């Protein structure tokens, strides 16, 4: 007599329905988020397959990968069927993806709009629970030369030294730069301090011949652009 839980195992699915086989046959893009997560998990439990476990985990975070990426190892291990090894694997995958965003591309990306700037750096800052201040350095053709973190603070703010900002810009001989920082609260409205800092750096940039073309405030669900709002 077959165990009632046996059919839940991915091993008993047809080859075309197994995540690994589907990726080999059709490419990674065809897989759902649950199937990709199932590959990382490797296995489920006697009660559910790896895919079912992945679906259950995703449902608890509203199927939001950004929220999933924020879960700690303890949070992940609170799910039945997820032990230490599986939690570490999932957390490592998200960290690797985050670090990929930090790597300067071999072919320079051209940024001409706030949306392009957000796509370039947003994934780095959107998930953080502390505030960080970054700059994107551009050449005369608005191609990205580098992006660098200038400072890191707490939940409600970080100190930015203009001398450090322009020291980095001069080192790269940047023609212009985009200021970027995140609001862990998710509130995209610039604070009075944000406005004053922007004005200070714009004026310093005029003296240093480094044009500040935008200042983005990054939140979990979007961004605020000083340039788009006519404030630069």
Whole-number pLDDT of residue 45: 81
Average pLDDT, the chain: 88
What is the biggest distance separating any 2 CA atoms in the chain, rounded to whole angstroms?
Answer: 82
Which ranges in 27-161 belong to alpha helices (H)?
Answer: 33-41, 50-60, 65-70, 73-77, 84-102, 114-125
Per residue in 180-190, pLDDT (tens digit) is 999 998 899 99
Q: What share of the chain is helix, strand, coil (3-state, %, to 5)?
A: 45, 15, 35
Helix (H) or strand (E) holding 181: strand 176-182
SS3 208: helix
Q: Is the pLDDT of residue 225 over 90?
A: yes
Q: Residue 174 in contact with residue 210, Cβ under 8 Å?
A: yes
Whole-number pLDDT of residue 99: 85
SS3 174: coil
Q: Residue 217 in contact with residue 190, Cβ under 8 Å?
A: yes
Residue 98 neighbours by CB under 8 Å, 6+ apart: 69, 123, 124, 127
Per residue in 47-92, pLDDT (tens digit) is 888 999 999 999 999 999 989 999 999 999 999 999 999 999 999 9
Q: Where, residue-wise, is CATH 3.40.140.10 in the chain? A: 107-225
Q: Is the pLDDT of residue 7 over 50?
A: no
Burial (CB count <10 Å: 0-12, 13-18, 19+), residue 33: middle
Whole-number pLDDT of residue 143: 95
Q: What architecture is domain 107-225?
A: 3-Layer(aba) Sandwich (3.40)
pLDDT band at 6 (very low <50, low <70, confident <90, very high): very low
Report the distance separating Cα 223 and Cα 46, nearest Å: 44
Residue 134 neighbours by CB under 8 Å, 6+ apart: 121, 124, 125, 147, 148, 149, 150, 179, 180, 181
């Amino acid at each position: 007599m077959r165990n009632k839980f046996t059919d839940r195992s991915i091993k008993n699915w047809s080859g075309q329905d197994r995540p690994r086989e589907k990726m080999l046959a059709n490419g990674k893009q065809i897989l759902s988020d649950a199937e990709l997560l199932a590959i990382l998990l490797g296995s489920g439990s006697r009660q559910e397959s790896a895919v079912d476990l992945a679906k259950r985990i995703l449902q608890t975070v509203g199927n939001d990968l950004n929220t999933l990426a924020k879960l700690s190892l303890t949070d992940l291990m609170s799910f039945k069927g997820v032990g230490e090894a599986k939690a570490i694997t999932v957390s490592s995958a998200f960290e690797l993806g985050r670090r990929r965003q930090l790597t300067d591309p071999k072919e320079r990306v051209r940024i001409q709009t706030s949306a392009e700037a957000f796509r370039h750096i947003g994934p780095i800052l959107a998930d953080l629970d502390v505030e960080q201040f970054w700059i994107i350095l551009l050449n005369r053709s608005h191609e990205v030369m580098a992006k660098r973190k200038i400072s890191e603070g707490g939940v409600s703010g970080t100190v930015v030294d203009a001398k450090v900002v322009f020291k980095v810009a001069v080192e790269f001989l940047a023609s212009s730069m985009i200021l970027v920082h995140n609001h862990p609260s998710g509130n995209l409205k610039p604070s009075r301090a944000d406005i004053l800092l922007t004005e200070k750096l714009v004026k310093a940039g005029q003296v240093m011949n480094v044009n500040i073309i935008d200042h983005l405030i990054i939140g979990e669900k979007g961004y605020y652009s000083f340039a788009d709002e006519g404030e630069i």
